[in-house]
Amino acid sequence: MPNVTIDDFARSFGTTPSEFSNVCLENINKHDFSYKLLAKKSRDGVILEVLKKISGDTQIIGAKERTAAWENGWAENLEAFKASNFDLDTLVPKFIRANQPIRYNGDYIIPRNSRFEYDYMTVFRIWLFQKYFSDYSTIYEFGCGSGLNLVLLASLMPDKKLFGLDFVQSSVELMNRIGQTHNWPLSGCHFDMIKPDESFRLSKGSAVLTFGALEQVAGKFESFIQYLLKQKIGICVHVEPTIELYDETKLFDYLAVQFHRKRGYTENLLPYIQRLETEKKVKILQIKRLYFGSLFMEGYTYFVWQPLSGE
């Protein structure tokens, strides 16, 4: 049975094994990353399932009813967090589903570990956060949801000042409760990325993270990026589904594109940042597709940029 090796992780992330910290290596070694490839009949069955999902899916990203869905969703995490005596495992979002085929290296695979996606994502986040956020004292996550990323940041870098921003109040309350109960420098703040509050000031030279958040604004991201430039941040890391990096001549990628567009997830974020680079307003440090994702699309492509002086 194939297994994701340390070298495989490094290729996926766009790095080398020598860059992995002990914490990162420990997480690779303690989890089961074995999987099996699908025979033709089974693979055809997965493709049929994806096609039926695309055909019958009615969820529209950015629709008004989605606000209530997010409010209720993070409220469920908040109540579970309180009921469990503040167990951090209750913060795993419900949309990270176990026991289903996932996308890896240009094909569908069946992991032996039911938490394969979550464990893989955790290894990725440990590496990503240590590489890009270690030199920054203040970190803001916009669209922080259940606070999963901020909890990991707090455990990895307890000296950092953390802010979780979201457009629904249940998420804000959850961030404040996490900070209080675990004695972390973590605060929640209300913020709408579609209509940024220009009076909300970020610490100069701070770090910014979005992780599957700008995908939800249905392409209405320009005001937010311009807001970040005005705030004179130090670095910005986006982890978002990025439709522009798929190869639509391949069925595997074409299906992800169709799902992405059927729901109305954000497009053109990466080309927008690339245009800002040609205008000498930002410098792009990295763009990397992980070739890893859930059944329907890949949500872990990352790109990193910094404002150039004068912005």
Q: Could you read off the pLDDT of 94-109 as tens digits, one per residue?
A: 667 667 899 999 999 9
- Find the length of the chain: 311
CB 163 within 8 A of CB 30: no
Q: How many domains does the chain have?
A: 1
Q: Say which CATH number the domain at 113 has.
A: 3.40.50.150
The predicted-structure confidence for 38-59, as pLDDT tens digits, reads as follows 999 999 999 999 999 999 988 8
Please report the pLDDT score of residue 65 as a whole number.
Answer: 63
What is the C-alpha to C-alpha distance for residues 94 and 84, in angstroms, rounded to an integer?
A: 16
pLDDT cut 70: percent of the chain above it:
96
Residue whose structure tokens are 């921003």: 165
Give 284 or 90, the one with higher predicted confidence. Answer: 284
Q: Does a structural domain hold residue 151?
A: yes
Return the amino acid letter for 68: A
Residue 1 lies in a domain: no
68 backbone dihedrals φ, ψ, rounded to 5°: -65, -35
Greater pLDDT, 72 or 233: 233
Buried b or exposed e, range 32-71, using 16+ CB within 10 angstroms = ebebeebeeeebeebeeebeeebeeeeeebbeeeeeeebe
Alpha helices in 64-168 (DSSP H): 65-83, 116-133, 148-156
Q: Pick 93 or 110 by higher pLDDT.
A: 110
> Are 239 and 302 a contacting pair, CB within 8 Å?
yes
User: What is the number of other CB atoms lying within 10 angstroms of the CB of residue 72?
Assistant: 11
Whose CA is closest to 301, among 249, 258, 265? 265
* Cα dihedral value 180, 186, 94, 61, nearest 10: 130
What does the pLDDT average to over 278-282?
97
Angle 242-246-249 from CA coordinates, rounded to 5°: 155
Q: Is 268 a domain residue?
A: yes
Residue 125 within a domain = yes
13: helix, strand or coil = helix
Comparing 57-61, 72-76, 246-250, 265-269, the range with the smallest average pLDDT is 57-61
Return the H-helix or E-strand segment holding 6. Answer: helix 6-13
- DSSP lists the bridge partners of residue 142 as 165, 210
Say if 137 falls within a structural domain. Answer: yes
Q: Evaluate whether 163 touches 190 at the Cβ level (below 8 Å).
A: no
Q: Is the full-model pTM beyond 0.85?
A: yes
Q: What is the pLDDT of residues 2-30, one digit of tens each?
A: 999 999 999 999 999 999 999 999 999 99
Residue 179 near residue 248, CB atoms below 8 Å: no
Which SS3 state, helix, strand or coil, does residue 111 take? Answer: strand
In one-letter notation, the amino acid at residue 129 is F
Three-class SS of residue 219? Answer: coil
306: exposed, middle or buried (C-beta count within 10 Å: 0-12, 13-18, 19+)? middle
Is 190 part of any domain?
Answer: yes
Residue 63, pLDDT score: 65
DSSP-assigned letter for residue 202: P
Residue 97 and residue 211: Cα distance in Å, rounded?
Answer: 17
Amino acid in position 107: D
Residues 140, 227: Cα–Cα separation, whole Å: 13
Q: When comparing pLDDT for 152 and 86, which is higher?
A: 152
Whether the Cβ atoms of residue 295 and residue 100 lie closer than 8 Å to each other: yes
Contact 207, 232 (CB under 8 A): no
pLDDT tops 50 at residue 157: yes
What is the residue range of 235's domain?
6-307
